[in-house]
Amino acid sequence: TDSDTADEAVRATCDDATVCKRFATSKGYWRDLYIQYFARSVGERKAPEISRGYYARVKGVNNLLDAFIRKTECDCQVINLGAGLDTTFWRLKEENLLPRKYFEVDFPTVVARKIHNIKTKPPLSKPIIETHSTDSLLLDAHSLDSDRYCIIGADLRDISSLDEKLKKFQLNTELPTVFVSECVLVYMTPTHSSNLVCWASDTFHTAMFINYEQVNMSDRFGQVMIENLQHRHCTLAGVEVCQSLDSQKDRYLKTGWEHADALDMMTVYSMLPQEDVERIERLEFLDEKELLQQLLQHYSICWATKDKLNLGLVHLAF
Ligand code: SAM
């Protein structure tokens, strides 16, 4: 059906992210020793503005995620929604920042691919086995469950089944919990994404939601971005929410979150440690600075918090 084709095009987007991250890390934009196991080869060259954009995305999201984990002294959970082939679990393990449990959710077919890679590549499986204490490690084709890392196949538009599966794998609704979604909500209708963030705020009393996706999509540049995706049968069903930083924040403020903030990526880029920004800007020559600016102005990070435990989550920022 049409909707199967649309979902298949959305599933394929996780390879774009992986291929772009693999290329950027091969050039030294940031370190990721694990992405190589999810993308067969470095692949063709990517334009420098793409790599700089991914740099801002990875550093920006990590900045907020790590701040939450530190604030809770690792006594927390992470739930990565639409995680694709993301390698954050391995980075956190390496940096001694593992939460009590790290959950990932994606479509079952994407999850099956990720699990296959983990099973067949010891550098991926070793950290999972090392952080697991009993002989009960579950590793079948459709799910992985260990003490500290769990991957679940589910459709994020089906909240009751998502809730049920997470609870089956020992999700603790009393623990401070941080959600991460990168370029995921934009593929769902505003109703679906709103239901998801509403479920998150209903389920946890102390939580943060970090969302990275397109913004300012109503101008000419935004229209071209939409057309490019449509060429690949990919529809940004949630594009309405991507009209402005305010509409991004409203999604949370209307669904029980206490506080929400949003920045476009040009602003985030200017707030990252400038010494490292200068370093990456020397990696590859970029003569069209304007294109980078336009690109960064069309992506955003939005984050929302609720804080019954009074941890000071409202102060987490750049
Ligand atoms: N977050 C990852 C990253 O940044 O590398 C992957 C991003 S990729 C652009 C979008 C991911 O969201 C895909 O892996 C796709 O399968 C997943 N996704 C989109 N809609 C979904 C849904 N309704 N249920 C589960 N996963 C979904």
The complex's ipTM works out to 0.99
Query: What pLDDT sits at residue 141?
Result: 84
- Token look-up 């305010």 returns 246
Q: What is the pLDDT of residue 288?
A: 85
Which residues, in sequence order, are CB contacts of 193 under 8 Å at separation 6+?
A: 185, 238, 241, 251
Question: Residue 179: what pLDDT?
Answer: 99
Residue entry with tokens 């991250």: 21
Look at residue 136 in the predicted model and tell me its pLDDT.
86
Instruction: Identify the segments of the chain with pLDDT beneath 50.
Output: none
Mean pLDDT, rounded, of the chain? 96
CA nearest neighbour of 46 among 64, 70, 63, 21:
21
Q: What is the pLDDT of residue 2?
A: 74
237 CA distance to ligand 1 middle (Å): 13
Supply the DSSP string of 74-96, one letter for each residue: T-SEEEEET-TT--HHHHHHHTT
* The domain defined by 2-315 carries CATH number 3.40.50.10800: no
Residue with CA closest to ligand 1 atom 8: 14
Q: What pLDDT shows up at residue 43?
A: 84
Q: Does ligand 1 have an atom closer than 6 angstroms to the CB of 157?
A: yes
Nearest residue CA, atom 27 of ligand 1?
Answer: 82
User: Domain map of the chain by residue range?
Assistant: 2-315
